[in-house]
A and B are shown apart, each in its own frame.
Chain A
Amino acid sequence: SAVISQKPSRDICQRGTSLTIQCQVDSQVTMMFWYRQQPGQSLTLIATANQGSEATYESGFVIDKFPISRPNLTFSTLTVSNMSPEDSSIYLCSVSRGDEAFFGQGTRLTVV
């Protein structure tokens, strides 16, 4: 398994501002993943973050809106930039061990 610490657990932000979400893993991992979970919807992969290279973004997500950092093998951040109410969602950090995915507790973001 993997222990993933994610913070903040929740935040209420003003539109037009940015929020950075941090993810810390208890052991080194090659790939870290960022997901979005909107109410009643499945988890949507935003990007895959590898240490030492730029993140790989899924269709519909761009680096300017969701910049990601991966400074080492146990840590990553996701920034939600220039937020609008449509960005209100739960954001989840994830790592894989073999074919099993493990998740942080999530960041519940509300944009007002």
Chain B
Amino acid sequence: QKEVEQDPGPLSVPEGAIVSLNCTYSNSAFQYFMWYRQYSRKGPELLMYTYSSGNKEDGRFTAQVDKSSKYISLFIRDSQPSDSATYLCAMSGGSYIPTFGRGTSLIVHP
């Protein structure tokens, strides 16, 4: 079993839809949880960063962490074609070196 599991998709949704992206993990030592967005031919860029269980909101994006279930989610409200990208979850136990999921490809069509 991989430490971090993430469905690669692709996930195709219409513009305006609510998108839910998810990762599960097995390492209880993970304390820091991140979501990265990677456009084609670009490096990953940090989108959201959370430390504790619960929700964190930033504009149209909400990151959710459930440590008891070892499950994290990223919700995108009112999705736009410009949100089309690969979304990678990442997590660490404070070692400065995150463990990444394989990424979920999201396509938002007009």
A positions within 8 Å CB-CB of B:
1, 4, 6, 9, 31, 33, 40-43, 45, 48, 92, 96, 99-106, 108
Q: How many angstroms from the CA of A40 to the CA of B88 in the assembled complex?
A: 11
A101, B98: Cβ atoms closer than 8 Å: yes
**Interface pairs (11), CB distance under 8 Å:** A9-B41, A40-B102, A42-B6, A42-B100, A42-B102, A92-B44, A100-B34, A101-B46, A106-B41, A106-B43, A108-B41
Q: How many angstroms from the CA of A45 to the CA of B97 in the assembled complex?
A: 9
A104, B43: Cβ atoms closer than 8 Å: yes
Q: How many angstroms from the CA of A106 to the CA of B86 in the assembled complex?
A: 15
B96, A96: Cβ atoms closer than 8 Å: yes
Nearest-CB residue, chain A, relative to B32 = A99
- Give chain B residues whose Cβ lies under 8 Å from the Cβ of A102: 46
Interface positions of B from 79 to 110, Cβ below 8 Å from A: 88, 90, 92, 94, 96-98, 100-103
B positions within 8 Å CB-CB of A:
4, 6, 8, 32, 34, 36, 41-46, 49, 88, 90, 92, 94, 96-98, 100-103
**SS of A interface (majority):** strand
- Give chain A residues whose Cβ lies under 8 Å from the Cβ of B97: 33, 45, 48, 96
Q: How many angstroms from the CA of A6 to the CA of B100 in the assembled complex?
A: 21
Q: How many angstroms from the CA of A108 to the CA of B40 in the assembled complex?
A: 11
- Give chain B residues whose Cβ lies under 8 Å from the Cβ of A101: 34, 46, 90, 96, 98
B92, A99: Cβ atoms closer than 8 Å: yes
Q: How many angstroms from the CA of A92 to the CA of B34 in the assembled complex?
A: 18
Across the interface, A103 reaches (CB within 8 A) one of B43, B92, B96, namely B43
* Whole-angstrom distance between the Cβ of B67 and the nearest chain A Cβ: 16
Q: How many angstroms from the CA of A105 to the CA of B39 in the assembled complex?
A: 10
B44, A103: Cβ atoms closer than 8 Å: yes
* Whole-angstrom distance between the Cβ of B86 and the nearest chain A Cβ: 10
- Give chain B residues whose Cβ lies under 8 Å from the Cβ of A42: 4, 6, 88, 100-103
* Whole-angstrom distance between the Cβ of A108 and the nearest chain B Cβ: 7
A100, B49: Cβ atoms closer than 8 Å: yes
